[in-house]
Amino acid sequence: MAAAKRTTAALLVGLLAALSLLGCGAGAAPEGPSIPFLAAAVTEAGPGAFTISWQAPGAGQVTVYAGTDPARVGRTRQLAVGAGSETRQVTGLPAADRWWFELVPATGQSLVLADRSLHLAGAPNFRDLGGYRTQDGRWVRMGVLYRSDQLDKLTDADLAKVTRLGIRTVVDLRTAAERSAGPDRVPAGARGQVEDVLAGSGVSTDIAGQLSAAAAATDTMRAVERVMVDSPGARSAYRGLVAAVADPGDRPLVFHCTAGKDRTGWASASILTALGVPEQAVLDDYLRSNTYVLPKYAPLLAALPAAKAAQARPLLEVRPEYLRAGTDEAALRYGSMDGYLRQALGASPDQLRGELLVGRPG
């Protein structure tokens, strides 16, 4: 009998040890499955119409549900059932501030996405910074961080929509002159935080005053990108932004400048890089400003003589070489973008990833 008890005890000890190694022992919760999607996106094609695409090879069947609450999409409105990699067109959804879509694979964790653009009349570059896959297989959470152009031109309907996003913090990256000329329309319940990126840099935001040869304008934009890495005012401003991003009490948060493409573009690239988003996806997000900003400037360019329009265009758009000037400067000064994030901005990538990513590495 004693030998049998000893054998049973030894088996129990061995079983507990095995469970501990698997991460399922007492006090350790088992890890859930990873998100199997290699790519996924939602784009609004018109009122109540969306294009939903995904790539999840090996995940088996994917079922798509829609809802208006990202925390509880609910699995009552089923839109589509498809294979592991497909593109589906959805129409006929009723009017809503924002539709969210849960992609549920047969194997693995589901993914909740929405169109990144908020489609605001007065702030066309207002968009979600989430919905990107990271290098380790996690995804940037949506509905938490937003990037935008100036908020002083929000219509009443825009402002009501932004208020319903639950924004807690508005970080304004503009200069004192810009803020005075166009004060933010801050949504109810949100606090404003000023982080002037160009403070003390001597950089002008007057486009008319910067018109010169197109090549010189391109050089100017690259130089401004380097200023946003090097200048004490920029480092202080971006450090303040990163601190707010890292504080759960300040989220959901929106940060913006005037066009939402340069100061905001560098901030977005820095945050996405800290979260582990691949370089090409970071560049794609940066360049997407051209889609939303250039139509706003089209009347201005059309009114200029062709030569002047050619000189102005580099100042009104973003280009890969602009962002590359910033990342090259960060590598020169700090050894890498990781060094810049940690040393110049005081960022903790591990903390940011723990709070702003969904899924688990896989």
Angle at 273 between CA 153 and CA 172, to 5 degrees: 25
Q: Which of 257, 293, 312, 318 is catalytic?
A: 257
Return the exposure string of 6-15: e unless at least 16 CB atoms fall within 10 Å of the residue's CB, then b.
Answer: eeeeeeeeee
Q: Report yes or no: 121 and 155 within 8 Å, Cβ to Cβ.
A: yes
| Per-residue tokens: 190 | 């949100």
- The residue type at 346: G
In degrees and rounded to multiples of 5, residue 79 shows phi and psi of: -105, -35
| Per-residue tokens: 107 | 């194997």
* Furthest-apart CA atoms within the chain: distance in Å: 101
24 is catalytic: no
Distance, in Å, from the CA atom of 250 to the CA atom of 262, rounded to the nearest integer, reads 23
End-to-end, the C-alpha distance of the chain in Å comes to 47
| Per-residue tokens: 75 | 């699995």
Side-chain-side CA neighbours of 68 within 13 Å: the count stands at 9
Q: Name the residues annotated as catalytic.
A: 257
